[in-house]
């Protein structure tokens, strides 16, 4: 009896092991399928015109996403300019100045804010900027992306700052410098790798965000025309072209997806390198 | 000199405080602003908005029911697929895989989370949807067509495709979070039951998983929160039809896809207000889901911290 029981347990163990590894294999396979298809399509349709030409009207051959790529860069810079000071200072507050209750509340708010669907952030930016100013604008899109960025930057900054040993802070203070100088001159440099990693992750996240741009940036066939005018963005154009019935537009959507994937995966791999080096 | 240093210290710590409060302020701002902008619809429809299933801009009659139904249905399909795959992967990555394999494998799975939603949607639209239409839906219709879930013409775009896409998008999140939860289980827990002669699976099932249950539930709920609010990929594959139907093959809408699809064309206070009210409903639901998940995950990590 115990012999049979043992065999049964052994076989059950084996079956569950196979199922678990199968699950991991399936997840990786899906990843490889999506990535492989995007890269294959991208290589087929990506060319120099895609980078250097503006969009052409329906039916005209050629054309590219130059304006949208440039627009995305502007939005990333704008959002980072708004979000980095706030996110970094909030991270510093959480790790260096906050009492336990205050820290709990702010951390909670940041985590909840990070979980707000990006489409809702878009509606919010529309309500506070587009509606009162009666115009879609690069500014409103930048603010929407900044709202998405802030909690990511704040939490990763906090976590890396807290890894800096207290002895460093004490040593700095013992030299007689003020607390703010100790933070800026000693603690932040000590956590720099982690902070930069967090910033890069946040940039990777907003580079591909589309939902909050639909009714803030709107898209524009012209290049950058000022912060208070609509602006084109790469992910938005990929979406519009993908949903269009025209073959050449869909092919351009794939070329755009290829470029965006390279950017985002490039950042991911760089981040991994950075954090591995930070650990060793 | 000392005085001057104090002063700059004050400025610096106050700036830090203001930045932190700004995060709380933005969150409160969401609640206030969304309520104000949704007011025309809230005033006109009241609580009936949730139960009404029409969406008629001409007669100005709007209801959220089909969108809420579509959101719950697609997220449920997503969870049904994603939870077993994610938990299996997490168990494999923490308890079974040889150590050289763990880090690259988890990196590959987590990289899936970094791919932008619009690209998953693009792939979904041109690869998954035809596959679902030609193979999966016709097969399900043949074998399980007696169930109302699997009746109707195979469109490809619809709830089923949206659910599969959501599963793909939340697998990396649930996997990563459950991996953390399982890792937090102290090794004494495993050693004790192994010493009693348990197999590896019995160890996992009886000693590891019960110990980190709240962390695992938190991981699944975080995945749910993500699925409920996912917009682009779903908008691209769900077909944007506004209907209440039992068929998984039917095109439909989620709250997020409805907003993405119509916000730009919306005119008039009530129409826009209804879309903002949809956003408010989505905000409230994801807020609730995320709060529950956070509390569960935090309890888990607090337990770990207590042990150390």
CB contact under 8 A, A238 and B118: yes
Bridge partners, residue B61, by sequence: B56
- Domain of residue A133, residue span: 63-279
Per the prediction, chain B carries an average pLDDT of 91
Bridge partners, residue B54, by sequence: none
- Evaluate whether A248 touches A155 at the Cβ level (below 8 Å): no
Please give the pLDDT value at position A242. 93
- Evaluate whether A118 touches B36 at the Cβ level (below 8 Å): no
* Closest CA relative to residue B176, chosen from B109, B126, B271, B122: B109
Bridge partners, residue B56, by sequence: B61
- Domain of residue B48, residue span: 20-307
B219 Cα to chain A: minimum distance (Å): 13
Is B10 a domain residue? no
In a shared domain, residues A126 and A178: yes
Is B9 a domain residue? no
Average pLDDT estimate for A212-230: 90
Is A131 a domain residue? yes
Whether residue B244 has pLDDT greater than 50: yes
Is B7 a domain residue? no
Chain B residue closest in CA terms to A16 = B201
Lowest mean per-residue pLDDT among A224-228, A232-236, B124-128? A224-228
B143 Cα to chain A: minimum distance (Å): 24
In a shared domain, residues A22 and A161: no
Structure tokens at A249: 């537009």
Between chain A and chain B, how many beta carbons pairs sit less than 8 Å apart?
269
CB contact under 8 A, A250 and B283: no
In a shared domain, residues A73 and A16: no
Spatial distance between the Cα atoms of A158 and A91, rounded to a whole number of angstroms: 4
Is B130 a domain residue? yes
Is A58 a domain residue? no
Structure tokens at B277: 């009210």
* Closest CA relative to residue A258, chosen from A27, A28, A31, A37: A37
Dump pLDDT digits (tens) for B138-197.
889 888 888 888 888 888 899 999 999 999 999 999 999 999 999 989 999 899 999 998
Please report residues of A whose CB lies closer than 8 A to that of B83: none
In a shared domain, residues A68 and A41: no
Residue B71 burial (C-beta neighbours within 10 Å; 0-12, 13-18, 19+): buried
Please report residues of B whose CB lies closer than 8 A to that of A27: 85-86, 89, 109, 112, 171-172, 175
* Closest CA relative to residue B16, chosen from A131, A86, A112: A86
Is B11 a domain residue? no
Is B30 a domain residue? yes
- Evaluate whether B301 touches B284 at the Cβ level (below 8 Å): no
- Give chain B's radius of gyration (CA, Å): 23
Nearest to B23 among A26, A151, A180 (CB): A151
B268 touches chain A (CB under 8 A): no
Whether residue B4 has pLDDT greater than 70: no
Q: The domain that contains A228 carries what CATH number? A: 1.10.3720.10
Spatial distance between the Cα atoms of B93 and B148, rounded to a whole number of angstroms: 38
Q: Which of A46-55, A172-181, B118-127, B131-140 has the highest mean pLDDT?
A: B118-127
In a shared domain, residues A17 and A99: no
CA dihedral B250, B255, B257, B258 (to 10 degrees): 90
Spatial distance between the Cα atoms of A244 and A235, rounded to a whole number of angstroms: 14
Dump pLDDT digits (tens) for B271-304.
999 999 999 999 999 999 999 988 887 776 666 6
- Evaluate whether A191 touches A156 at the Cβ level (below 8 Å): no
Please give the pLDDT value at position B30. 95
Cβ neighbours of residue A244 closer than 8 Å, sequence gap 6 or more: A250
In a shared domain, residues A143 and A12: no
In a shared domain, residues A41 and A67: no
In a shared domain, residues A29 and A106: no
Whether residue A280 has pLDDT greater than 50: no
Instruction: For tokens 């969406």, name the residue.
Output: B55
Is B245 a domain residue? yes
Whether residue B308 has pLDDT greater than 80: no
- Evaluate whether B55 touches B63 at the Cβ level (below 8 Å): yes
Please give the pLDDT value at position A108. 92
Is B121 a domain residue? yes
- Evaluate whether B252 touches B245 at the Cβ level (below 8 Å): yes
Whether residue B1 has pLDDT greater than 50: no
A204 touches chain B (CB under 8 A): yes
Average pLDDT estimate for A139-146: 97
A265 touches chain B (CB under 8 A): yes
Whether residue B3 has pLDDT greater than 70: no
In a shared domain, residues A16 and A106: no
Task: Tell me whether 0.85 is exceeded by the ipTM.
Answer: yes
* Closest CA relative to residue A158, chosen from A194, A115, A108: A194
DSSP A46: -
**Rama region for B153: left / alpha / beta (φ>0; ψ in -120 to 50; rest):** beta
Please give the pLDDT value at position A274. 84
Dump pLDDT digits (tens) for A101-137.
999 999 999 999 999 999 999 999 999 999 999 999 9
Dump pLDDT digits (tens) for A6-38.
888 989 999 999 999 999 999 999 999 999 999
Structure tokens at A256: 């755009």
Chain A residue closest in CA terms to B227 = A117
Number of domains in chain B: 1
Number of domains in chain A: 2
Please give the pLDDT value at position A262. 93
- Evaluate whether A39 touches A264 at the Cβ level (below 8 Å): no
B277 touches chain A (CB under 8 A): no
A29 touches chain B (CB under 8 A): no
Structure tokens at A225: 């025309």
Average pLDDT estimate for B26-48: 94
Dump pLDDT digits (tens) for A176-210.
888 899 999 999 999 999 999 999 999 999 999 99
Q: The domain that contains B121 carries what CATH number? A: 1.10.3720.10
In a shared domain, residues A35 and A113: no
The predicted model scores a pTM of 0.92
Whether residue A253 has pLDDT greater than 90: yes
- Evaluate whether A254 touches A45 at the Cβ level (below 8 Å): yes
Whether residue A221 has pLDDT greater than 90: no
In a shared domain, residues A72 and A164: yes
Nearest to A92 among B16, B125, B291 (CB): B16
Cite the beta strand spans of chain A per DSSP E: none
CB contact under 8 A, B118 and A210: yes
CB contact under 8 A, A120 and B15: no
In a shared domain, residues A248 and A112: yes
Spatial distance between the Cα atoms of B19 and B25, rounded to a whole number of angstroms: 10
Please give the pLDDT value at position B176. 93
* Closest CA relative to residue B203, chosen from B188, B215, B216: B188
Please give the pLDDT value at position B155. 87
Is A209 a domain residue? yes
A31 touches chain B (CB under 8 A): yes
CB contact under 8 A, A210 and B26: no
- % of chain A beyond a pLDDT of 70: 98
A233 or A220, which is more confident? A233
Please give the pLDDT value at position A110. 95
* Closest CA relative to residue A113, chosen from B117, B290, B298: B290
Nearest to B20 among A93, A204, A218 (CB): A93
């Amino acid at each position: 009896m115990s012999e049979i029981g043992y065999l049964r347990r052994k076989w059950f163990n084996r079956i569950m092991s196979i199922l678990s590894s199968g699950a991991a294999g399936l997840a990786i396979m899906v990843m490889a399928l999506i990535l492989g298809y995007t890269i294959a399509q991208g290589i087929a349709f990506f060319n120099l015109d895609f980078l250097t030409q503006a969009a052409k009207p329906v039916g005209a051959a050629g054309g590219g996403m130059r304006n949208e790529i440039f627009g995305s860069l502007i939005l990333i810079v704008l959002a980072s300019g708004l979000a980095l000071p706030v996110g970094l200072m909030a991270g510093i507050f959480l790790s260096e100045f906050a009492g336990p209750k205050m820290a709990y509340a702010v951390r909670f708010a940041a985590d909840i804010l990070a979980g707000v669907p990006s489409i809702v952030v878009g509606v919010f930016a529309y309500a506070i900027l587009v509606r009162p100013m009666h115009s879609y604008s690069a500014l409103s899109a930048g603010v929407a992306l900044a709202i998405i960025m802030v909690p990511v930057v704040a939490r990763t900054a906090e976590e890396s700052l807290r890894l800096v040993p207290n002895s460093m802070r004490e040593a700095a203070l013992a030299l007689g410098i003020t607390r703010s100088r100790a933070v800026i001159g000693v603690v932040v440099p000590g956590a720099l790798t982690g902070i930069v990693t967090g910033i890069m992750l946040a940039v990777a996240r907003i580079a591909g965000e589309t939902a909050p741009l639909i009714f803030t940036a709107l898209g524009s066939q012209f290049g950058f025309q000022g912060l208070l005018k609509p602006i084109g963005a790469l992910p938005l154009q990929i979406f519009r072209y993908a949903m269009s019935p025209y073959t050449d537009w869909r092919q351009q959507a794939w070329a755009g997806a290829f470029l965006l994937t390279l950017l985002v995966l490039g950042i991911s791999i760089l981040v991994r390198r950075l954090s591995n080096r930070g650990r060793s | 000199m000392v005085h001057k240093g104090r002063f700059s210290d004050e400025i610096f710590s106050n700036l830090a405080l203001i930045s932190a409060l700004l995060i709380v302020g933005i969150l409160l701002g969401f609640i206030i602003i969304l309520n104000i902008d949704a007011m025309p619809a809230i005033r006109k429809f009241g609580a009936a908005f949730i139960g009404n299933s029409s969406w008629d801009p001409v007669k100005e009659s709007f209801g959220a029911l089909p969108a809420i139904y579509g959101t719950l249905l697609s997220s449920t399909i997503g969870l049904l697929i994603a939870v077993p795959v994610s938990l299996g992967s997490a168990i494999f990555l923490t308890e079974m895989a040889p150590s050289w394999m763990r880090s690259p494998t988890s990196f590959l799975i987590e990289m899936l989370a970094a791919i932008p939603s619009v690209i998953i949607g693009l792939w979904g639209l041109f690869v998954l949807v035809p596959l679902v239409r030609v193979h999966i839906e016709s097969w399900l219709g043949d074998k399980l067509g007696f169930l109302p879930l699997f009746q109707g013409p195979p469109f490809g775009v619809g709830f089923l495709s949206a659910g599969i896409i959501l599963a793909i998008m939340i697998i990396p999140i649930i996997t990563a979070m459950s991996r953390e939860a399982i890792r937090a289980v102290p090794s004494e827990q495993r050693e004790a039951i192994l010493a009693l002669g348990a197999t590896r699976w019995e160890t996992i099932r009886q000693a590891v998983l019960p110990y980190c249950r709240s962390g695992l539930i938190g991981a699944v709920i975080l995945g749910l929160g993500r699925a409920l609010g996912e917009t682009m990929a779903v908008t691209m594959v769900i077909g944007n039809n506004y209907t209440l139907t039992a068929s998984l093959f039917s095109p439909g809408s989620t709250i997020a896809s409805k907003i993405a699809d119509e916000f730009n064309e919306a005119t008039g206070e009530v129409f826009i207000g209804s879309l903002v009210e949809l956003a408010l409903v989505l905000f409230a639901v994801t807020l609730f889901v995320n709060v529950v998940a956070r509390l569960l995950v935090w309890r888990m990590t607090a337990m770990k911290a207590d042990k150390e």
